[in-house]
Amino acid sequence: MTLEKRRVVVTGVGAVTPLGNTAEETWEALCKGESGVGEITRFDASAFSTRICAEVKGFEPEKYIEKKELKKMDTFIHYAIGASIMALENAHLEITEANAARTGVIIGCGMGGLATIERYHATLLERGPRRISPFFVPMIITNMASGQVSMYVGAQGPNSCTTTACAAASHAIGDAFKIIQRGDADIMITGGTESVITPLAIAGFGSMKALSTRNDDPKRASRPFDRDRDGFVMGEGAGILILEELEAAKRRGARIYAEIVGYGMSGDAYHMTMPDPEARGVVRCIKMALDDAGVQPEEVGYINAHGTSTPYNDKHETLAIKKVFGEHAYRLAVSSTKSMTGHLLGAAGGVEGIFTALAIYHGILPPTINYEHPDPECDLDYVPLYARNTKVKVALSNSFGFGGTNATLVFREYEG
């Protein structure tokens, strides 16, 4: 006997990004086509080949975390707690004794507390092992974002973390969706967080030639699908969604941004960092998500692309879209919001999941800014330069990570 799958909806969003310290600020800036990219201020980057990034600006973690606790946490945890509290407030949802055991947390993160690792490594070398904080390990491990959020809000249900590079947040959202769908929880706090604008990360990605070196023009450096793209721009922040079982959300009169209806995941089994030139893994991933959702390709109106602004990723994602959607690929809209936020690595799918749900809810498709020179291999409708008022019923969010890991989420307009 096959049990009917429970329906899952998005009822709250919270974000800390280079475009704003709330989801509302971020969405407003996104629709205006603003860029969050600028010069690196976290450290002296004058000797680096890349001297630009997309930093969070003016975030005040003490609004959400007691001052005495702040120093026990890395910045990626600060962002996760702040965005989670904002998402619960946005959903008008309180975790109580009655619902705590049915409320879970899954937050993805790619690299954890790298800034803390760098700082304490220097301390170890300069001052010795006795100067290492007893909070060092809990500060750096990726699952402490989920752990600390669960403690701060009192969520006693499933508690986990996905660490799948740049697909981490989308895998977290997909896994949270499935947990509710199969009945293991009624509410999930989910998304991603990351903060690794550090000397070691910038040097490491720079040595791979993955980062843009358009240092003299930061706001135009992230240019997904554009012929002159030269690499991604490092970003940071957190994006958190509140997922709820539909009937529970309806009973409390919740606002519903969108319904999440499908999730696909696959592996390229090709190369540690390069995408498969035939895009076979991505094609399988998108098809799996559509099949899970019961959605036909021609029903999709918008795709929030992974769209990193790297030469290989953009053309191979374009190829995958063409293979899945055929002629319909030229009728749907595709945009990369990384043109404005930069690439938030493990947090990317969280903020982009929010953008995809809000695009459906508001009937506005965010643009791909800096798309000025068409690339013959990237010839779809990338919503260039300006946001577009267009109502879509079904939208996808794509995320792909090093190691050849892929994730696709399918969102649908909620029709009560």
The number of C-alpha atoms within 13 Å of 310 and in the hemisphere containing its C-beta is 21
Place of tokens 């959702």: 293
Backbone φ/ψ region at 143: left (φ over 0), alpha (ψ -120 to 50), beta? alpha
d(CA 283, CA 281): 5
306 catalytic per annotation: yes
Task: Find the catalytic residue in 171, 306, 316, 378.
Answer: 306
Strands 388-389 and 8-16: unpaired
Query: According to DSSP H, which parts of 259-380 are helical?
Result: 280-293, 311-325, 338-341, 348-362
Is 274:313 a contact under the CB 8 Å cutoff?
Answer: no
Strand extents, DSSP E, 237-305: 237-245, 258-267, 302-304
334: helix, strand or coil: strand
- Catalytic residue (choose from 78, 171, 316, 343): 343
Q: Catalytic annotation on 78?
A: no
Sign of CA dihedral 5, 7, 12, 13: positive
Report the C-alpha gap between 277 and 240 in whole angstroms. 32
Whole-number Å distance between alpha carbons of 305 and 397: 6
**Two tokens, residue 329:** 């690929």
Indicate which residue of 166, 171, 285, 378 is catalytic: 166
Catalytic residues: 166, 306, 343
